[in-house]
Amino acid sequence: MTSHPCVQGGLLRTHVKDKTTVNVFLVNAIRLTGQLVCVDQIAVLPESGLGVQIVFNNAISTAMPVNVKDAARNSTEAPMSRDKPNHLRGRVP
């Protein structure tokens, strides 16, 4: 069996090194926003204005930089699947 690098750990360590502000979505739909202070095989430590928290890796659903959604939307100019098209926004049924 060959050894493969841990994609999750590598990406999160990059966010720690770059001091990127990230959104960490938990499996129970809670969103934590802040900078990752430390990452290991068991947990991550996000820091925000409220302080540092410990979040166990098995509780994390998704982690992404804060500005990724805006950049993706601006580059495609298409509404997200759950968004209404612009011409329907603000209309009263």
CA angle, corner 64, sides to 69 and 47, nearest 5? 120
Contact partners, residue 19, CB within 8 Å, separation at least 6? 35
| CATH of range 7-78; options 1.10.10.10, 1.10.1740.10, 3.40.50.720, 2.30.30.100 | 2.30.30.100
Question: Does residue 36 contact residue 12 with C-beta atoms inside 8 Å?
Answer: yes
Query: What is the structure's pLDDT at 50?
Result: 85
pLDDT beyond 90 at 78: no
State how far the Cα of 76 lies from the Cα of 71, in Å rounded to an integer. Answer: 9
What per-residue string of b and e applies to 44-64 under the rule 16 or more CB within 10 Å gives b?
bbbeeeeeeeebeeeebeebe
Binned at pLDDT 50, 70 and 90, residue 67 comes out as confident
Domain boundaries, the chain: 7-78
Quick: pLDDT tens for 7-34.
667 788 888 899 999 999 999 999 999 9
